[in-house]
Amino acid sequence: MKVMFYAESPKILETVECVFVGRDSSNPSAFKVHRIIENGRSSFIELGGIDSADSANALKGHYIFLSRREMAEPGDDEYYWHDIIGLDVLTERGEHLGKISAVFPTGSNDVYVCKSDKGEILLPVPAIDDVIRKIDVTDGTIIVELLEGL
């Protein structure tokens, strides 16, 4: 099957034995990973039990999920997107700006989308020293210093 990766790289799948496939994360089906062929942002993946075009087409529009247990721990100052989405964004003065609603890559860096009832703020990453002062996944917060115009 041809799949589009939202992860930084399909290499994340090189060490996993099993993936979960579903329309959402509430009730996915497990599949053994047989082979992955990288092809840029999209790749080809061979899953156990998916042995025909019809069975592959039945999964069109579905998502691939990984068990956290099978994923490598991120390095220092690295985070998985699913750990960032939902964090509260606060200024250094304690003002609540909203929550991270999405993360998207721009090529040179990622952008965190902070959404509140007042609108959206786009936070460039890895501008750790300039904008993102502290990320505390355990505490559920990101501390920021907004630059002029943000």
Q: What is the pLDDT of residues 101-142, one digit of tens each?
A: 998 877 777 888 999 998 998 887 765 567 888 899 999 999
pLDDT of residue 8: 64
φ/ψ of 40, rounded to 5, equals: 75, -135
pLDDT at 39 over 90: no
Whether residue 126 has a cis bond before it, omega within 30° of 0: yes
pLDDT of residue 126: 62
What's the alpha-carbon Rg for the chain, to the nearest Å?
A: 18
pLDDT in tens, 51-101: 999 999 999 999 988 888 877 788 887 888 889 999 999 999 999 999 999
Q: Give, as one character, the DSSP assignment of residue 22.
A: E
Into which CATH architecture does domain 81-144 fall? Roll (2.30)
pLDDT of residue 53: 93
Q: Which residues, listed in sequence order, are joined to residue 42 by a DSSP beta bridge? A: 4, 39
pLDDT in tens, 1-34: 888 876 666 677 777 888 999 998 888 999 999 9
pLDDT of residue 7: 67
pLDDT of residue 31: 95
Residue 48 confidence class, pLDDT cut points 50, 70, 90: very high
Q: Give, as one character, the DSSP assignment of residue 25.
A: T
CATH 2.30.30.240 range(s) for the chain read 81-144
Dihedral angle, C-alpha 39, 40, 42, 47, nearest 10 °: 40
Which secondary structure element, helix H or strand E, spans residue 54, and what is its range?
Answer: helix 53-57
Helices (H) and strands (E) in the chain, counts: 2, 11
- CA distances to 70, 80, 86, 90, 124 from 137, rounded to whole Å, are 19, 10, 10, 13, 18
pLDDT of residue 149: 57
Prediction pTM value: 0.68
Q: Which residues, listed in sequence order, are joined to residue 50 by a DSSP beta bridge? A: none
Enumerate residues 6+ apart whose C-beta is below 8 A from 143.
Answer: 90, 91, 92, 132, 133, 134, 135, 136
The two structure tokens encoding residue 137: 């996944």
pLDDT of residue 62: 93
d(CA 48, CA 112): 35
